[in-house]
Amino acid sequence: MCNPEETALLQLEETFSATLARIDSLVLQPLLLATPEPSDPWGRECLRLLQQLHRSSQKLWEVTEESLHSLQERLSHPDAIGLETLLLLRGADHVLQVHMEYLESYTSCVVVQAFQKIAKRRSEYGQKQRKVLRQFLSDMSLEGTAGPTLVEALRQPLTHHMQQYVLLLLSLGDTIKERHPARELVVHAATLFGNLQSFMRQALDQAVATQALWPTLSSRLRDVLCSPAHRLLQDSQDIPVTVSPLRAQRVLLFDDTLVLLQGHHVHTFDLKLVWVDPGQDGCTFQVLTPEEEFSFCAKDPQGRVVWQWKVTQAVSQALRGKKDFSVLGAGLEPPEPPACRCVEYTFRMEGRLCQATYEGEWCRGRPHGKGTLKWPDGRNHVGDFCQGLEHGFGIRLVPQATEDKFDCYKCHWWEGNMCGYGVWPSVLLLSRYSTDEVYKGYFQEGLRHGFGVLESALQAPQPYKYTGHWERGQRSGYGVGEDGDRGERYIGMWQADQRHGLGVVVTQAGVCYQGSFQADKIVGPGVLLSEDDLLYEGSVTRDLNLVGKGKVTFPNGFTLEGSFSNGAGRGLQTQGVLDTAALPPDPSSIRKRQLGLGAFPVESRWQGVYGPFRDFVRASCPGDLQEALLGFHTQSSRELRKSQEYLCCQRTHPKDSKSSIEDILEELLRHQEPKALQPYLRKALSNSLHPLGKLLRTLTLTFQATYAGVGANKHLQGLAQEEVKQHAQELWAAYKGLLQVALQRKGQALEEEEDAETRDLRVHGLVLPLILSSFYPELFTLYLLLHEKEDSLYSQGITNLSLFPDTKLLEFLDVQKHLWPLKDLTLTTNQRHSLVRNKCFLSATECLQKIVTTVDPREKLEVLERTYGEIEATVSRVLGREHKLPMDDLLPLLIYVVSRARIQHLGAEIHLIRDMMDPMNTGGLYDFLLTALESCYEHIQKEDMRLYRLPSRWGSRDRW
């Protein structure tokens, strides 16, 4: 059975559909056909609005027909078709949207008086349509003009229809039982159309009020403000309000804009960028905009409530981007607009942001959050903002004078200035090659401050690079400067962008000079060492030429003391005393001639690198400051050009920095046990995104800048060696600092401070072997250069000993014959023992060769221990019993194994192991075996090993 309300709804839809059809055929179509194409802009706008109204009227008729059809189907088959199939119920939102579009088109025509203007143009239209319009009007006289009559003729059918909709739906809801499947649909539809009815009254009132506003304005103001989209919500002429400090004469609140009129000046403010703050007294409230703040003062508290409510309501609606029933049809408490928003705005007032367009997040009238700032001159800034200032990570593009080229500043910012780690500039856009310098390091108040690397482009006319410390934008403190044009590197102290204090200069020619500098000039005497170990003590020129009083010590021990001078084209001239009586110096004393030791305390050299990490730990490792303090991973310039990474704010690390540091600290706590600690540290140090890995990466960069290339000078080996050990200590301290923070966050007891002995054992036994690979190429090169002469003698000895067959070499080395492993030799036909080569003690030889496959001193010592074990195992097998070799027997056998292993640069290997091994091994088995290996190395260098000639009775056949 069907309800009487359904029958009434059917009759209502039939009537409304017929009315819409008559309006279209008798009113709108004739009006459009009778209107010629206007020539003025406003005439064309009115015609466009009428055409839009015609289209929305057609859609409203179509949806009414669909609703009518669904009602007819329901009434024809009440048992087969349920109530929930009605379009008014199942498609209530769609029906409502069509009504909204029609209402929007109609009120837009009302706002700009489109009906009146069109009717005025065609006066005969109004005379012909009077009888037609009477069909749609029930209580209005037709004595007036055609325009207002037309307005009312289009309004009355819609308002009457909506009123009947709401009444019938409410009545239908009362007749349906609570558990009926269509009850919720009926209640929902009744609510929607009830809100629409309230909204319709409001929309019509606003349209009429807006229409009435235009005649009160001057023609100039009307031209600026009049728009079919505007709806007047409040006028200060109705409820007075004063605005300071602007002293506006009139305030107009539209649904999308706040307008302050001051004489002929119009100040407009987009409501999406308006924030409302309650005032301190009952009559005042504050309005915040991106560039100005205003105080609105009403005559009484009631006026303030109305204005504040309407502004707040309008802001909320503007942010939604559509008219919202729950707002416009609600009581006096509109929902509070969000303080944070995402809007685009172009700044107009004078200042650093003048004409700049900001698109991104806002909070209370200021850019706040992530956003993009673009200036008309081509500058762009993408990043984080706080209270209107660049704050956090950001990327800034600055155009160069050259076309299609930009500098890219990629760094952290603090209150509008570069502060923390950054790259400046990181790449030049749209150009194949960069032509400017690149700085990677720390900033403070927009200036380079702290540790940083400044490097010119490779193709620069005078290439240079500086790695070190900065103060207020100038090189100051310890740093390494490389002058590519002169082919020299300066290692030492700087002040005000000049070399100042103690320093070391290294040249491509192998010359190394240590002395004092003042204002970039060498002052006073110094020490100069050449590649061939010539020593000079005295004064030098800028080009390191000998000048003035000084003393030269030659490699053979001779000395020359006197005065030196360099004339143009005359070479070096001297007057002095040559002493040839001195004996040649001991090679070990020559190797001890190291520069830089004591001049730059190792613990204070790279404080600019250690300092930010300590600050990070002292601040309890805040995730949002991790990149600012520890730096971020940057790609090479070539990768940057390919990826265009600078165009977004995403860094290489895809995870949130805060969560990542928490994960790091959690993992650190899970790996405190000794067995788990070493694998954890190895993983952390190899990860460039881990704080420890970032620190090691930066330290590696400083080491390479100092000792690679021109800095590969043997007289700097001691400086490099102590630096690596200091880095190990600092990395262990960094790990302990992270551990303390992790324990503190978990509320666990903090570890007691370890004593110096325990710390040293951890540093040398745990950290140093893990980080040595990062510094090994440069460090081992220095050892190679320092021990080049001994290794050359050793190589000559190895070359000579390699000519011996196995038995002859064992005999030459005085190895007792009962220890010869002849049983291991497999002879072929017509082959004698005396001809076999490289077969004895083969397992020990192959084992020793593995000493060059690792950089870890402990692993090298373990290789040596296994080699010793292989020698003893071979001897025990020969003797048929376990046998411990005394030193007298071990040394010749070890010399044999070393000569057959043919390890290059064994001297450099031995000294690196000795310098870098764990102090715990001193005096133990490893120390004993290393001492034995040193003895072998020294023995092979001796003249009888290098120059021994095979006896003449060994003919060529025997030898080969």
Largest CA distance in the chain: 147
CA distance 668 to 362: 38
Residue 130 has pLDDT above 70, yes or no: no
- Angle ∠(296,298,299) on CA atoms, nearest 5: 155
| Res 459: pLDDT | 77
| Res 708: pLDDT | 93
Higher pLDDT, residue 262 or 121: 262
| Res 959: pLDDT | 30
Token pair in block for residue 780 = 């081992």
- Bridge pairing between strands 546-553 and 535-540: antiparallel
Radius of gyration of the chain measured on its C-alpha atoms? 46
In sequence order, the β-bridge partners of residue 260 are 251, 267
- Crossing angle for the helix pair 768-786 and 857-879, nearest 10 degrees? 80
**Residue whose structure tokens are 């003062």:** 297
Please state the rounded mean pLDDT for residues 133-146.
Answer: 53
| Res 94: pLDDT | 93
Burial annotation 737-748 (CB, 10 A radius, 16+ → b, else e): bbbebbbeeeee
250-254 β-sheet, strand order: 232-235, 250-254, 257-262, 265-270
Residue 648 has pLDDT above 50, yes or no: no
Least confident span in 164-168, 778-782, 902-906: 164-168
**Residue whose structure tokens are 């240079």:** 464
pLDDT in tens, 5-27: 889 989 999 999 999 998 888 88
- Bridge pairing between strands 250-254 and 284-288: unpaired
| Res 625: pLDDT | 75
Find which of 55-69, 154-168, 278-292 is predicted with most confidence, using mean pLDDT.
55-69
Contacts of 940-946 with CB under 8 Å at 24 or more apart are 940/794, 940/797, 940/798, 940/801, 940/895, 940/898, 940/899, 941/790, 941/793, 941/794, 941/797, 942/797, 945/797, 945/800, 945/801, 946/793, 946/796, 946/797, 946/800
SS3 960: coil
Residue 302 has pLDDT above 70, yes or no: yes
- Bridge pairing between strands 250-254 and 498-507: unpaired
SS3 506: strand
CA distance 37 to 133: 24
CA distance 648 to 780: 42
Contacts of 142-150 with CB under 8 Å at 24 or more apart are 145/116, 145/119, 146/115, 146/119, 147/113, 147/115, 147/116, 147/117, 147/119, 147/120, 148/115, 148/116, 150/27, 150/31, 150/115, 150/119, 150/126
User: Which secondary-structure segment (H or E) carries 372?
Assistant: strand 366-374
Please state the rounded mean pLDDT for residues 850-877.
Answer: 93
Contacts of 740-747 with CB under 8 Å at 24 or more apart are 740/617, 741/617, 741/620, 741/621, 741/665, 742/665, 742/666, 742/668, 742/669, 743/669, 744/620, 745/620, 745/665, 746/669
**Contact at 8 Å (CB) between 26 and 132?**
yes
CA distance 921 to 903: 23
Higher pLDDT, residue 666 or 127: 666
Residue 673 has pLDDT above 70, yes or no: yes
Task: Give the CA distances from residue 201 to residues 103, 155, 159, 205, 779, in Å, rounded to whole numbers and listed in that order.
Answer: 10, 11, 8, 6, 86
Q: Which of 112, 114, 6, 99 is nearest to 57 (CA)?
A: 99
| Res 835: pLDDT | 65
Answer left, alpha or beta for residue 749, where phi above 0 means left and psi between -120 and 50 means alpha: beta
Task: Give the CA distances from residue 446 to residues 352, 391, 411, 419, 472, in Å, rounded to whole numbers and listed in that order.
Answer: 15, 12, 10, 6, 9
Please state the rounded mean pLDDT for residues 547-561.
Answer: 91
Give residues with Cβ within 8 angstroms of 829, minimum separation 6.
none
| Res 296: pLDDT | 94
CA distance 802 to 900: 7
Task: Please provide the distance, in angstroms rounded to a whole number, between the alpha carbons at the two ends of the chain.
Answer: 120
CA distance 565 to 543: 13
Residue 489 has pLDDT above 90, yes or no: yes
Instruction: Report the C-alpha dihedral over residues 621, 625, 629, 632, rounded to 10 degrees.
Output: 110
Per-residue DSSP letter, 210: H
In sequence order, the β-bridge partners of residue 548 are 564
Other beta carbons within 10 angstroms of residue 391's beta carbon come to 20
Residue 513 has pLDDT above 70, yes or no: yes
Residue 200 φ then ψ, to 5°: -65, -45
CA distance 68 to 61: 10
**Cis peptide bond prior to 245, omega within 30° of 0:** yes
Please state the rounded mean pLDDT for residues 109-138.
Answer: 65
Least confident span in 274-278, 683-687, 829-833: 829-833
Least confident span in 217-226, 622-631, 743-752: 622-631
Give residues with Cβ within 8 angstroms of 610, minimum separation 6.
695, 730, 734
Q: Is 637 exposed, middle or buried (0-12, 13-18, 19+ CB in 10 A)?
A: middle
Higher pLDDT, residue 398 or 863: 863
Q: Which of 850, 861, 868, 849 is nearest to 916 (CA)?
A: 861
Residue 941 has pLDDT above 70, yes or no: yes
| Res 646: pLDDT | 39
pTM for this model (two decimals): 0.74
Residues in the chain: 960
| Res 950: pLDDT | 43
| Res 653: pLDDT | 43
| Res 29: pLDDT | 84
| Res 951: pLDDT | 40
